[in-house]
Amino acid sequence: MRQVSRTEIRLADGRALWYYDRADADRSAPDPRELPARSSGSQGRFDPLLREWVTYAAHRQDRTFLPDRAACPLCPSMPGRAGEIPSGDYEVVVFENRFPSFSPGPGGPADGAGHAEVVCFTPDHDASFAALTRERVETVMEAWADRTAALSALPYVAQVFCFENRGAEIGVTLPHPHGQIYAYPFVTPRTERALASARAHRDRTGRDLYADVLAAERLGERVVAETAHWTAFVPAAARWPYEVHLYPHRSVPDIPALTDVERADFAALYLAVLGAFDALFDAPAPYIAAWHQAPTRTGRDLARLHLQVFTNRRAPGKLKYLAGSEAAMGAFVSDVLPEQAAHRLRAALGAVRPG
């Protein structure tokens, strides 16, 4: 299989864009637009009660919102229509967000410092991640790994988060298949809590909490599918109606640490899981797919890379909303037992395990 090449260009307002290609391609097309200076000016405030940072990005109020297909900024550019990607075709593209959640460049949490990037998985406006080829998924993973490594090397970045939001029901404002990468100036609250649990478990037992969770789940009824290098399971305390975690069998801190074989194995499994999500309701499932990676400088011996994917659809035509208990108190009440969810997802897979 051909290696992935990376080509960097600059957009009209100075933002960086990276093409990731397996095939030979001319990526010299310039950005013909006249753009104002990119918006920034985020700030962070610390909540002393919850001990969490909250970031404010008021400039994002003017970001692109549900544009007509003809005005999609993520489609390849063509004569008379220039978007964010100057080339007339592409494989995978990453670029700095025109309306970033964080102020690009150095600083601390109070400065709202960090990075926000967009990852385009395909030039096909009507496609989805589940429709990608295994090779294309591997190219996406190369982009995730490359940008994770680059952002992690910045001294003011504490954690890198690669994710995809899919579907209007989940809050997506651009339907073109894409994800995002956030580089936070702080370790996120969920990761802080997980690391505290992992540290307490190690102090008490001498063992790795993530390894113990994976070992227990692989013996149980909540496994959805597994391959030589990965297991997909519904966690025992799943918060969302249908939620699957994908763990590599080898403990690694982040995506760059995965081998080529592990990445290829993941591609097959993940495509199968996404296909099962869609098959559950005979319709495209809204979902969030979130890569949990170790912080860049702390807790790397405690964390373990894994992917969490969940949908807020609990039944055909019905969504799970964050109501009073979830939104105000952070205490989830779910409508679907994890064992039922795993059984239904296995059925949707056709009881055929990939790999």
Supply the residues annotated as catalytic. 178
SS (H, E, C) 257-281: HCCHHHHHHHHHHHHHHHHHHHHHH
Q: Coil, strand, or helix at residue 106?
A: coil
Return the DSSP state at 224. E
Which residue blocks in the chain are alpha helix, DSSP H?
Answer: 134-152, 189-205, 209-218, 260-281, 329, 338-348
Q: Which of 162, 111, 114, 117 is nearest to 141 (CA)?
A: 162
Spell out the residues 6+ positions from residue 214 whose beta carbon is closer than 8 angstroms to its own.
231, 247, 249
Pairing of strands 92-96, 16-21: antiparallel
Pairing of strands 287-292, 313-315: unpaired
Which residue blocks in 85-188 are alpha helix, DSSP H?
Answer: 134-152
Return the DSSP state at 324. I
Q: How far apart are CA 233 and CA 225, in angstroms?
A: 7
- In which residue are the tokens 């807020």 written? 312
Spell out the residues 6+ positions from residue 17 whose beta carbon is closer than 8 angstroms to its own.
8, 9, 10, 11, 84, 85, 86, 93, 94, 95, 96
β-bridge mates for residue 308, sequence order: 245, 290
Q: How far apart are CA 210 and CA 191, in angstroms?
A: 13
- Cβ neighbours of 111 (radius 10 Å): 17
The angle formed by the CA atoms of residues 263, 228 and 248, to the nearest 5 degrees, is: 55
